[in-house]
Structure 1
């Protein structure tokens, strides 16, 4: 006689496995400690939800929730006491931004016998720093680097300046408006300035329509497809110049590469994020055409998301060592 089957008990769906992990030095490993984050920023409590897997989270399709979440992360992990951005400005995911900084630190270590150079002697340029100023905040907190952040938007520069002043970081981070909206590096750098590394999160789209289609795709991916609900510009916000430009990502990055040739002696390593892997062949072809001595593509993974940046230099190995000896005040790490 066969025993009767027990009725199935409803269970919480299994959480999807992450495809890959963050950089080993990234502070955002594993699940977030929401009680700790709420303690650092009580405002976060009203945005915490229980996701379909029974875990505490936030609605990442809600720009207000993402902004408050970022505020809590920056305070809890990086000691940033005051952080805010104007409505509808880009509010980037902190873990992915931190990964970019850490991999750039590894890149500089290659010119320093494997040791990451730290402290105020290291100068970084954040191209298009935005109102959020996230890269300088993370880079200075984790490595003590000094930053110059540039942007074409006066409102973004003013917001970033407020963040820097309210956290007493004016000695470590300076900001500059790029007055010529048609240029990136040219008309920005002073002739006597030197930077060990540049970083950039370029506009990914070629038009407003393309950016809006991207918004709908992200919205659907977050499980929020609802024709009655007004969609945000993107789930992380963003002004037009942050999201799209004529020629899109490939046009912007190609211009950045061409301009970098004209200030080649002022920067040790240039770099930029590249959203679309399909753009890499053209980017690498442009780098070869302008005579970059060395370039590399650095792949990054944040959970289910794959990203990458391209880095290039016009300095050969001997010149890189000379740069280190002169700028980093050392012949040995």
Structure 2
């Protein structure tokens, strides 16, 4: 993890339990004397990440609607920490595409760096919950806004308004190309963990998990649309979960006369990266 990640060391369950008493029933003691939680249990995952947000990121409240994605906080914080190193700015204004009901990136960015953030999503219920999270965390209220993207075919259009300028945009694009692909991946993971039922421990709504063409096509659309807003954004960025998608995306960026860079990240055995680009004058 990034050296400044607050969760790079083992979880301090003493403090997490104090911040969120609902976590207590899910804490397990291992044979090695180390405490953990059952990461196959979606309720345990929710309460752990809620505890992290309350304890390590000073939130007053962190509520999610049932069935919506509960992201792992440490990995999300890593994207922001590496992004801060990349743009090399203390004060920044960012746009989070597909912010979700969890509103995780704006909350973390405001808590970590006091960055101003706008989170956008096509899901009205997600934006409703994001707005509640802003209301319930009054100490961050002046830094955060949430906006509904009313046209799912657009990414920046209708959201990046005339006169607005952002130091960066960020995105965690839908990973799968269809519900069938998402279900198969969850089934395979459940089988590997020897679970009796097919279960998605981080949950998630359809628009949070898949879209037509999957990650590659979504990012291609994002790159194509970003050209129109090149004068309003310092760096466009997005997570890329599949390394094999990078060559075709880089080829598209080269055709559009852009400057681009890939920033590698890792969390344990998991390798990830984000792609950043801007356009030449």
Q: Does 2:55 match 1:83?
A: no
Q: Could you say which residue in structure 2 is the equivalent of 1:175?
A: 146
Check whether the contact 1:268–1:315 (CA below 8 A) recurs between aligned residues.
no
Superposition deviation, residue 174 in structure 1: 0.2
TM superposition score normalised by structure 2: 0.96
Q: Tell me, yes or no, if structure 1 residue 207 matches structure 2 residue 178.
A: yes
Partner secondary structure for residue 307 of structure 1: strand
TM-score normalised by L of structure 1: 0.81
Answer whether contact 1:202 1:252 (CA < 8 A) is retained. Answer: yes
Q: Check 1:87–1:51 CA distance in 2 against 1; reply closer, same or farther (3 A cut).
A: farther
* Corresponding residue of 1:141: 111
Question: Deviation string for 1:153-209 (max 9, x for gaps)?
Answer: 001001111111001133110000000011111122111110001110000100000
1:265-323 Cα deviation digits (max 9, x unpaired): 1100000001100101011111111121x21111111112111110111156xxxxxxx
Secondary structure class of the residue paired with 2:141: coil
Matches within 5 A, 1:161-310: 161-168=131-138, 169-221=140-192, 223-226=193-196, 229=197, 231-232=198-199, 234-292=200-258, 294-310=259-275
In structure 1, the residue corresponding to 2:18 is in which secondary structure?
helix
- Structure 2 residue aligned with 1:60: 39
Q: Secondary structure at the match of 1:44?
A: helix
The unaligned stretches of length 5 or more in structure 1 are 1-21, 110-115, 317-333
| Counterpart Cα distance in 1 of 2:32 and 2:190 | 19
- Aligned pair count? 280
CA apart distance, 1:218: 2.9
For residues 228 and 264 of structure 2, what CA distance do their matches in structure 1 show? 27
In 1: Cα distance, 2:263 partner to 2:213 partner: 23
Equivalent-residue separation in structure 1 for 2:101 and 2:77 (angstroms) = 17
Alignment of 1:37-56 (within 5 A): 37-51=16-30, 53-56=32-35
Compared CA separation, residues 220 and 301, structure 1 to 2 (3 A): farther
> CA 1:277–1:124 in 2, change beyond 3 Å: closer, same or farther?
same
- Following the alignment from structure 1 to structure 2, what is the Cα–Cα distance between the partners of residues 297 and 279? 12
On the 8 A contact 2:257/2:280 being kept in 1, the answer is: no
Query: 1:205 and 1:50 mapped to 2: Cα distance?
Result: 35
Say which SS state the counterpart of residue 25 (structure 1) adopts: coil
Alpha-carbon shift at residue 60 of structure 1 (Å):
1.2
Tell me which residue corresponds to 2:90: 117
| Paired residues of 1:80 and 1:167 also in contact (CA < 8 A) | yes
SS state of the match for residue 306, structure 1?
Answer: strand
Distance change >3 Å, CA 140–CA 315, structure 1 → 2: farther
Shift of 1:144: 0.8
Partner of 1:170, secondary structure, is helix
The Cα of 1:54 is off from its aligned counterpart by 4.3
Aligned-residue offset at 1:142: 1.2
User: What is the alpha-carbon distance in structure 1 between the residues aligned to residue 218 and residue 7 of structure 2?
Assistant: 30
